[in-house]
């Protein structure tokens, strides 16, 4: 994955987050979504992109696409295991949901990027 591909996937993640805000009711949700895209960018750069890179080198990119939402849901729970603050454990469920959505958005953006990079093959029925 190139640096531009990473920016493209992050931009697609933000677009899907915008759609989620629009379907959630609009209003001032965009402020919440803006501050929640910062952790999504961090997850993308530090966890999702290296995982997809390693799986692509091993020839199992499809496995990474399936695993991304689960990895996103697991990240806050791993932090909760180490953290001693009891207040953090109360908000882990919401953070895990948002991280899962970041993983789903990463998977959607990766599938879209993979689809757009395919060569255009005409349908052979058009030439028979």
| Nearest Cα residue to 107 out of 34, 58, 57, 43 | 43
Place of tokens 């199992």: 60
pLDDT for 99-124, tens place per residue? Answer: 787 888 888 888 888 787 766 666 66
DSSP state string for 69-116: HHHHHHHHHHHHHH---HHHHHTHHHHHHHHHHHHHHHHHHHHHHHHH
pLDDT for 37-87, tens place per residue? Answer: 777 788 888 888 888 888 888 888 888 888 888 888 887 777 777 777 767
Neighbours of 106 (CB within 10 A): 29
Q: What is the predicted pLDDT for the residue at 82?
A: 73
Cβ(46)–Cβ(71) below 8 Å? no
Q: What is the predicted pLDDT for the residue at 117?
A: 76
Dist CA 74 CA 97 (whole Å): 10
pLDDT at residue 17 is higher than 80:
no
Statement: the pTM of the whole predicted model exceeds 0.85: no
| Nearest Cα residue to 106 out of 2, 17, 3 | 17
């Amino acid at each position: 994955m190139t640096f531009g591909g990473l920016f493209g996937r992050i931009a697609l993640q933000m677009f899907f987050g915008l759609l989620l805000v629009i379907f959630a009711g609009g209003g001032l949700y965009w402020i919440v979504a803006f501050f929640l895209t910062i952790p999504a960018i961090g997850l993308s750069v530090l966890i999702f992109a290296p995982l997809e890179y390693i799986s692509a080198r091993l020839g199992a990119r499809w496995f990474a696409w399936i695993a991304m939402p689960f990895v996103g849901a697991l990240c806050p729970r791993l932090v909760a295991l180490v953290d001693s603050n009891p207040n953090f454990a109360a908000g882990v469920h919401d953070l895990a949901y948002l991280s899962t959505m970041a993983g789903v958005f990463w998977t959607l953006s990766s599938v879209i990027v993979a689809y757009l990079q395919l060569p255009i093959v005409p349908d052979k029925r058009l030439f028979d």
